Amino acid sequence: MSVMRRIQVGFLGGLLSVLPFMQACQDQELANQLEELSEELEEAKQINNLLAFRQTILDARVSEVLVSNVAEEPNGEWNLSFEDGSVYQVDSGIVAEVALDSASWKVDFTLSDASEVSGHFIGNLSITEEQIELNPFNSAPLSALAQVSTPVKGSFVVTVKGQDGDVSDIIYESPNVGTEHSLPIIGLYGEYDNTVELTFVSATGAVRATHTTTVTTEALPTGLPTVDIVVPLSNPAQNTLFLVNYRAVNMPFMMDAFGKVRWFSNGFTTVRKYGLQIFANGNVGYGVAGAGQGSVMEYTLVGEFVREYTFYPAYENAHHDVFELPNGNLLVAVNETGGETIEDQIIEMDRNSGAILTEWDLRESLPTDRLTFRVIQDGADWFHNNAIWYDERDHSLILSGQAQGVVKVDWDNNLKWILAPHEGWPEEYQDYLLQPTEAEGFEWVWGQHAPQVLPSGNLLLFDNGFGREFGAADQFSRAVEFEIVENDNGIGGSISEVWQYGKERGEEFFAPFISDVDYYPTTDTRFLVAGSTAFSLNYVDSANMTLTPDPTAIETIMVEVNEAKEVLFEATFSSEGKTGTTYRAEKLILFN
């Protein structure tokens, strides 16, 4: 082998021996680069996870979604549960420390980079006895008011636990979302250790915490009636109550479907109050009756004064009815101050300013000398308006005059029709008299109350039967529904009876005065209140009649029936040693 050949072979052998070393160096460099890249990626991932976690907590704070639970797993990961049901998993090495403050509803996170972020956490709801005041305004003894501050925004659900199962609970859902809460507690029982639950919820209704407390009340006052449930109400809706304007002690009350008093007002004086109702805003409204009295009052259910709508001295005596219009304005049955006649004026009051916007003087639209039915105060009480109904269909009023009948007038006080026996009406009013479609046997209404227009357009009212057929017919009371077809010229029309209930019950259901009836479209039922069944009537003629009370008799019969006249609910009132009456009553779903 030549020298050159030997040199070449030696060089190649050396080169081959160096190649593995060179490859190893290149692999190590690549490995180092990969390791550095991996570390950079891990660091970036850590930073990204830190930022994502921080953003999650901040987003929850902005949207006011609270952390409900924080749990560390054995592998160092964390699970965060939120009140909306979502769960956030946090990788190990993100959270270094967690501090919970149940009093301030705060959770502080110290992160692995030593930074901090805070969120809201569901903590403890602490409410003291001093924060709940029973009967705070001294006029509604079965109510209370809770004043509560919370560290975070939310609202409350207040539940007064009932004695007759969950359906007897009275539940109030506060519409206000905030940190300061004034919570009415309505529906307490008298002389009872009432269990009350105050449940703090999110804006979406998620339950955060519940505080349970006891509110002890005093015994009910004397004078309220004894309630007997004759036919129980099956499957009553939640918050079903009956608002009763009970006249024996001038003390309105609300009872539940089981006949137990859950609210009453002792803020009423001896001056009578009429038109008692729950306004659309949930407050209690009524008119103050009597000479020199001239206002409609508005209070909350806990008895706090809201406003007085005054119409004195132009008018006085808010007798019989107050009607809240769809726009909030009030129609009030009043007297003209110093007038020669009474109970024949209606006014519309602006709900915001209190100004009188519209006036109706029935002496301008009806004859005042038709006294065929009854005579009181030498004809001064010639009409005796006992009810107002606003007919939205044509912007008119339907009025019940106990001494005359039911009439309809437009917004300008022009007469449209008269629903009454045809006896005694002057010639110029004959065209206004509704004409029965039945050839014979049609039964008119006598001393009626509470007319209202049904969704069908029919007219429902309570026919007391006071002096029926001028004393020549059997005595009974009933709710009756009429179909009225008005003439095209807007004057008069035809009338036919389409439904009635009460006549079949005879004299036991006879209520010669006051009383009420309401229609409930959601159940297609009628709720009747025969409010003076303890009185008997001896009717001789329009100038000779006697009402005689029987202290041992049933005072009031309240009954709910369906279209088929099936009795769905019935309750009676009685009292010992006196004869009470119920001016009106209505079934309502409180806070609905």
pLDDT tens per residue, range 163-177: 999 999 999 999 999
Mean pLDDT to the nearest integer, 469-477: 91
pTM of the model: 0.90
Q: Are residues 204 and 144 in the same domain?
A: yes
pLDDT confidence bin for 11, thresholds 50/70/90: low
Residue 454 covered by a domain:
no
Alpha carbon 25 to chain centroid, angstroms: 84
**pLDDT at residue 2 in the model:** 57
pLDDT confidence of residue 576: 83
Among candidate residues 182, 217, 252, the one where a domain is terminated? 217
For CA atoms 540, 543, 545, 546, the dihedral sign is negative
Residue 434, domain member (yes or no): no
Whether residue 76 is found in the same domain as residue 134: no
Comparing 439-448, 480-489, 556-565, the range with the smallest average pLDDT is 439-448
The band of 267, judged by pLDDT with boundaries at 50, 70 and 90, is confident
pLDDT exceeds 90 at position 472:
no
Cα 132 to Cα 126: distance, rounded to the nearest angstrom:
12
| The pLDDT of residue 122 is above 90 | yes
Answer yes or no: do 133 and 193 share one domain.
yes
Write down the pLDDT at residue 540. 86
Window from 198-207, 212-221, 364-373 with minimum mean pLDDT: 364-373
Domain closes at, from 120, 142, 160: 120
pLDDT of 147 over the 70 cut: yes
- Indicate if 136 and 209 belong to the same structural domain: yes
> Which range, 71-75, 291-295, 372-376, 401-405, is most confident?
401-405
Residue 137 lies inside a defined structural domain of this protein: yes
**Residues recorded for the chain:** 592
Q: Is the pLDDT of residue 12 over 60?
A: no
Mean pLDDT of 54-76: 91
Residue type (1 letter), 281: N
Of the two residues 14 and 77, the one the predictor is more confident about is 77
Domains in the chain, number: 2
Same domain for 50 and 79, yes or no, is yes
Q: Are residues 133 and 116 in the same domain?
A: no
Give the C-alpha separation, 456 to 401, whole Å.
24
What pLDDT, in 10s, does the model give residues 361-376? 999 999 999 977 776 6
Classify residue 316: in a domain, yes or no.
no
Asked if residue 184 and residue 148 are part of one domain, the reply reads: yes
Kindly state the average pLDDT of the residues 287-304: 93
* Own/partner long-range contacts of 302-307 (Cβ < 8 Å, ≥24 apart): 302/135, 302/136, 302/137, 302/140, 302/143, 302/144, 302/145, 302/184, 302/185, 302/186, 303/135, 303/136, 303/137, 303/138, 303/139, 303/140, 303/143, 303/265, 303/267, 304/136, 304/137, 305/137
Within a domain: 336: no
pLDDT band, residue 238 (cuts 50/70/90)? very high
- Report the pLDDT value the prediction gives residue 47, as an integer from 0 to 100: 82
The confidence band for 542, taking pLDDT boundaries of 50, 70 and 90, is: confident
Q: What is the mean pLDDT of residues 481-501?
A: 98
Buried b (16+ CB within 10 A) or exposed e, 475-499: bbbbbbbbbbeeeeeeebbebbbeb
Please determine, for residue 19, whether its predicted confidence score (pLDDT) is greater than 70.
no
In a domain, 77, yes or no: yes
- Whether the pLDDT of residue 36 is over 80: the answer is no
User: Is 107 a domain residue?
Assistant: yes
What is the per-residue pLDDT for 38? 66
Determine what percent of the chain is predicted with pLDDT higher than 70: 92
In a domain, 392, yes or no: no
Give me the pLDDT at residue 6, please: 55
Distance separating alpha carbons of residues 272 and 320, to the nearest angstrom: 10
Greater confidence (291 vs 257) lies with 257
Tokens of 286: 């009524």
What's the CATH number where 185 sits? 2.60.40.3100
Select from 120, 153, 172 the last residue of a domain. 120
Q: Looking at the structure, do residues 48 and 94 belong to the same domain, yes or no? A: yes
332 against 18, higher pLDDT:
332
Separation CA 443–CA 512 (nearest Å): 16
Per mean pLDDT, which range of 52-56, 143-147, 309-313, 487-491 is the poorest?
52-56
Domain that holds residue 72: 44-120
Distance CA 556, CA 253 (A): 14
Average pLDDT over residues 259-279: 88
Please tell me whether residues 113 and 140 are part of one structural domain: no
Residue range 66-81: mean pLDDT, rounded: 91
Cross-strand partners of 242: 255, 587
pLDDT exceeds 90 at position 322: yes
Same domain, 114 and 155: no
Same domain as 92, residue 111: yes
For the chain, give the mean pLDDT: 92
- The reported pLDDT for the residue numbered 27 is 72
Rounded distance, CA 575 to CA 253, Å? 15
Taking residues 187-206, report their average pLDDT.
Answer: 97
